[in-house]
Amino acid sequence: MSWIPFKIGQPKKQIVSKTVERDFEREYDKLQKLEDQTKKLHKDMKKSTEADLAMSKAAVKISADLLSNPLCEQDQAFLETMTALDTSMKRMDAFNQEKVSQIQKTVIDPLKKYGGVFPSLNMAVKRREQALQDYKRLQSKVEKYEEKEKTGPAMVKLHQAREELRPVREDFEAKNKQLLDEMPKFYHSRIDYFQPSFEALIRAQVVYFTEMYKVFSELTDQIDQAGLTDEQRERETEAKLSELRALSIVADD
């Protein structure tokens, strides 16, 4: 860097209007919030699908454990009930995996790709800020030479400073205009980008729960032959529990 024989401060000339700077900050703030929201949504969607898979895997594990219960070897009716339950849990798990796969492709992956755009945007803003600082530094340099006595050497340095300033000013103005033009376009494009993903999410959920209704309706038909209500089953369970409590081996001392 060439030596500057005086301290460079802020230029006296306002090189960016307050309105332009305010517009820039407003648009960039909207994009920063959009970036944070995109990251959060991506994280929450991943957690949701992981929880879904864990739920169906746990259900399959429970039905398999019940099916291996020694009681199944002794009671044919219980064996048939547990077999029906195990089959239904495996069907649920299969449909759940298909749903999660669809959500991964249509929602989570697009969210990740969208989030990957922001580093480039932030870098463009940093380059604009660096160009602004260079612009201010050289504008201040020009103003200092303009204030000096109009001697031959001073006029030469003033001319050189103005020549140095020109491409820097043009570079900043180009970067500033591009960001002011494109940041609002990028922000408004989010709707067109995400709408297909959210529609696909809804469709995946509708298909899954429609299939779950069929699975559990069939399971109910298989195991609910007695046609008892929940209240009747609860009373039946309480009666059985009372019989167990009446046994001497579980009686209180």
Domain that holds residue 222: 18-248
Nearest to 175 by CA among 24, 32, 26, 31: 24
Extended strands (E) in the chain: none
* Whole-number pLDDT of residue 111: 96
Instruction: Look up residue 155 and give its two tokens.
Output: 């006029």
Is the distance from CB of 11 to CB of 139 less than 8 angstroms?
yes
CA atoms in the 13 A half-sphere facing the CB of 195: 5
Amino acid at 176: N
Domain tally, the chain: 1
Nearest to 138 by CA among 251, 246, 22, 4: 4
CATH of the domain at 243: 1.20.1270.60
pTM comes to 0.79
| Three-state secondary structure call for residue 10 | coil
The answer to whether residue 114 sits within a structural domain is: yes
CB 212 within 8 A of CB 95: yes
- Residue 241 has a pLDDT of 86
Per-residue pLDDT tens over the stretch 188-234: 999 999 999 999 999 999 999 999 999 999 998 888 766 677 788 78
Q: What are the pLDDT digits (tens) for 28-48?
A: 999 999 999 999 999 999 999
Distance CA 136, CA 130 (A): 10
Q: Decide if 243 is inside a domain.
A: yes
Quick check: 204 and 103 in contact, CB under 8 A?
yes
pLDDT given for residue 3 in this prediction: 32
Tokens for 174, please give them.
Answer: 């180009």
Rounded to whole angstroms, the Cα distance separating 42 from 33 reads 14
Q: What does the pLDDT read at residue 117? A: 94
2: nearest Cα among 160, 169, 124: 160
Closest to 211 in 3D by CA, of 128, 123, 97, 133: 97
Q: Where are the alpha helices (DSSP H) in 68-151?
A: 71-74, 76-103, 109-115, 118-147
How confident is the model at residue 243, as a pLDDT?
84
Contact 183, 27 (CB under 8 A): yes
> Is residue 213 in some structural domain?
yes
Would 140 be classed as within a structural domain? Answer: yes
In a domain, 253, yes or no: no
pLDDT averaged over every residue in the chain: 89
